[in-house]
Amino acid sequence: MTPIEFKLRMRSVIEQCLGLYVIRTSHHGHRFCTDLKKCSGQISVVFDIGANIGQSALQFRAAFPKARIYCFEPVRSTFEVLKKNMRGDARLSCHQIAFGSTNGQAEIYLTGYSFTNTLKRPNKFVGSEIVELCKVDKFARDKKIKQIHLLKIDAEGFDLEVLKGAKAMLSSGQIRFVLVEIGFQPEDGNHVLLRDVSSYLLPMGYVLFGIYDQQPEWKKGKRLQYANACFSNQNAIICR
C-alpha cells in the first residue's frame, strides 16, 4: 500500500467510526476567509453591506486583523446592536446606510427577523422604515476610498441593485473581490440568481472564485436554494 493509499484508507476509517467528514482546512471552497488569504495578497479595505449585528465583520476581523472594515446596516434597531457589538475596534466603523443603484431615500420592509429585512417588498412584513440610500461609488468617492479589496453584499434580493451602484469601481478594477448571496431557483424572490449576478460581473473582468455556505431547500426535492458566491477581478489574484 502506497502512502497516499494508506492516508485515504485511514481517513475513510476515521469518518466511518466517528460519523464525521474529514477535510483539509486548505481545501478550496470550504472556508472563504482561508481561500482569500491564500490568493489575495493583502486585504486592507472591506465593505460589509448588510452587516446585520456584525456576524461577518467579526469573521473578517479575525482573518484580516489590519483591515479597515466599513459596516453598513440601515435598520435603526439592528444598527444600534451592531454598534454595541463592534465597539472598541478602532479600525472598524458603522454606518446606518442602505445601498442601491441610486442615491436618496428608500423604504425598507421589516419582516420580524433582522436578517431578512429587505428593500424589496415581500409578501408579508410587520412594518417599514425610511432609510438613506446610497451608491457604493458615491460613498467611496465621498470618503476618498480608492480601492475596496472585499465587497461583501447580503441585501436580501436587492444585491444586484447594490452592484449597479458600484459600476464605476467595478468596471475600473477598483474592487478586487465581491462576495454576494445568490439564489438558484427562479421563483425565489429573496435571492438574486447566480446567472444574473454572473452576467453583470463577467463583462467587467470578474470570474467566479468560489461558492460557499451552500443552503439546500429540503421541502422541494432537496435542491440547492442559496449560497454565497465570490467573484474576483482576474488581475487581482496572486496565489502563493
Over residues 56-99, the pLDDT tens digits come to 999 999 999 999 999 999 999 999 999 999 999 999 999 999 99
Given a contact cutoff of 8 angstroms between Cβ atoms, the answer to whether 192 and 183 are in contact is: yes
Q: What is the mean pLDDT of residues 219-239?
A: 79
Name which of 239, 34, 72 is nearest 148 in CA terms: 72
pLDDT grade for 16, boundaries at 50, 70 and 90 = low
Pairing of strands 175-183, 192-193: parallel
pLDDT at 22: 54
The whole-number average pLDDT for the span 166-193 is 93
Whole-prediction pTM value?
0.87
Residue-wise pLDDT for 125-177, tens only, equals 999 999 999 999 999 999 999 999 999 999 999 999 999 999 999 999 999 99
Burial of 200 (0-12, 13-18, 19+ CB in 10 A): middle
- DSSP tag of 215: E
At residue 240, the pLDDT reads 47
- Of the candidate ranges 23-32, 66-75, 166-175, 215-224, the one whose mean pLDDT is the lowest: 23-32
Please, is 18 exposed, middle or buried when counting C-beta atoms within 10 Å of its C-beta (0-12, 13-18, 19+)? exposed
